[in-house]
Amino acid sequence: MANAWMDYLRWGTKPSLALMSTCVAWASCGALLPQTTLAQDMPSGRAQLESSSLPAQSESAAPVRSSSTPIVENSYVLGAGDQIELVLFRLPEYSGTYEVQVDGRLNLARVGAIAVDGLTIEQATAAISNAYSQLLRRPIVTLNLVSRRPLEIGIAGEINRPGSYVLGGDDGSYPTLTRLLQTAEGITPSADLRNVQITRREGGQTRVLEANLWELLTTGNLSQDIVLRDGDSVFIPSTLVPLDESALVADANFYADVTEPINIAVVGEVFRPGPYRLRGGATRTGDAGVPGGEGGDGNAVTVTDAIQVAGGIKPLANIRQVEVRRTPRYGDQESFTVDLWSLLQTGDLKQNAILQEGDTVVIPTATAAIPAEEASQTAAATFSPNSIRINVVGEVTRPGQIEVPPNTPLNQGLLAAGGFNNRAREDVVGLVRLNPDGTVTQRELNVDFAQGISEDGNPVLQNNDIIIVGTSGLADFSDTLGAITSPLADFLFILRAPFNLFD
């Protein structure tokens, strides 16, 4: 009987039915099948037989996939650093955990090095089975991915920290696109979330995948949060993000850290133009010509934050066309405008655009006269200075430097100084103004306290304006007469001095 089985193992000659029944009985009693000459080369002395020649094995003998082993997608390919669990059915001495070496090979017992780099689990299983089939008849091989190698992924474009990153998977999760963005310290406000590009090498060919992270933000579509693979390259293009989308983008968990300060510049119709390093938050505007303060409460830096820190707007600022100039990481400078008047009138917060590193805020000069009502509302805005300083000299009750609210007209400036005294010329005053170009303008203005704001008769005062109130004609005559009579009075006082001794 043993010889018959040896013939089957060597030459494939099927034994008789009676012999097979006897073998089944032996197997049920724990008897071992005879060893083949080929199998004797194997230390276990057991060869794999055709399933049609032996009764079905008990379920307890079949290999069981460990529940702790993560489920691997078919598209995952092996590479250096992967930990592989190899199970050869009924050959525990050749089973175990192996690591894919730097050269992309697994060093296995008896069959040597097997190249698995770039193969899926199924492909690697077939390659190992083929190698062991040279020694065993129909070997049953099972592969499990126990521990993935760290993935090296590159990222560039509108990201705060472009470069190469190594993402591990020890926690059983696969690195995703948003996780990479978080690791690279978040996207910039210019990121085009609708066209994120992932370049991947598969099967010797290059594929470009596109992810729409805007869809992820608006609908929660997790399919857009693509699982990354070793060697992937991610590029985030730039775009001019619409104002009505920027607030939602800034709230994303893969946005840049808004608590970090950024460098910006503010130019144009502000009291303190220049560069600033700014944190977002509850900023406050100081007096005209004095830089405002910043709160740094963890919010993103906005246009009004920048204006407030720069001392606030001047009276001639055109707040309807505030320009933000931005230079993305790739491409030419781009710009967009915001309407702060709409923000004041309707509370349209999207006009208070979020700024990014390197932005320049330009406050243009109004080309037409600003209506009095609009000037008054603008002066009360948070991005106007708390007060401006003017000087009132001459015949007023309280001459000197005084502080008045922005956009205060000439008439109110006179009243803030206590009004005219009894020596003042009340029909005309002088106004001296230092212009931004360094020149000085001086003019005479008729005073009419019943007149509204008017550039000709009741102009809006600006910081450091000087109001000169002259003396009236009667006061001039009195002063002249006093100057003439004063020496005569002194002479008469001297003549009377000896007679005063006898009084």
Which residue carries 């939602």 as its tokens?
248
**pLDDT given at position 368:** 81
Q: For 83-147, which CATH class?
A: alpha beta
Distance CA 232, CA 201 (A): 7
pLDDT of residue 341: 94
| 474 phi, psi to nearest 5 deg | -65, -40
Residue in 19, 136, 148 with CA at minimum distance from that of residue 77: 148
**Distances 98 to 80, 82, 104 between C-alpha atoms, Å:** 11, 8, 12
Q: What gap in Å lies between CA 333 and CA 324, rounded to an integer?
A: 11
Helix (H) or strand (E) holding 302: none
CATH number of 388-471: 3.10.560.10
Q: Which of 387, 422, 416, 423 is nearest to 399 (CA)?
A: 416
Confidence at residue 318, expressed as pLDDT on a 0 to 100 scale? 93
What's the pLDDT score for residue 31? 34
Closest CA to 455 of 463, 464, 446, 467: 446
Give pTM, 2 decimals. Answer: 0.64
What's the CA angle centered on 326, arms 323 and 330, to 5 degrees? 155
- The yes/no answer on whether domain 262-379 falls in CATH 3.40.50.1580 is no
- Confidence at residue 298, expressed as pLDDT on a 0 to 100 scale: 64
Question: Domain extents for the chain?
Answer: 2-59, 83-147, 151-250, 262-379, 388-471
Number of separate helices (H) and strands (E) present in the chain: 11, 20
Tokens of 172: 């059983």
The dotted CATH code for 151-250 is 3.10.560.10
User: Please, what are the averages of pLDDT over each run of 10 residues along the chain (503 residues)?
Assistant: 42 41 36 34 36 36 35 64 89 89 89 89 92 88 88 93 84 82 92 94 85 94 91 93 89 88 93 87 57 62 91 89 89 89 92 92 88 80 86 91 86 90 87 81 88 82 88 60 55 56 52
Same fold, 83-147 and 262-379: no
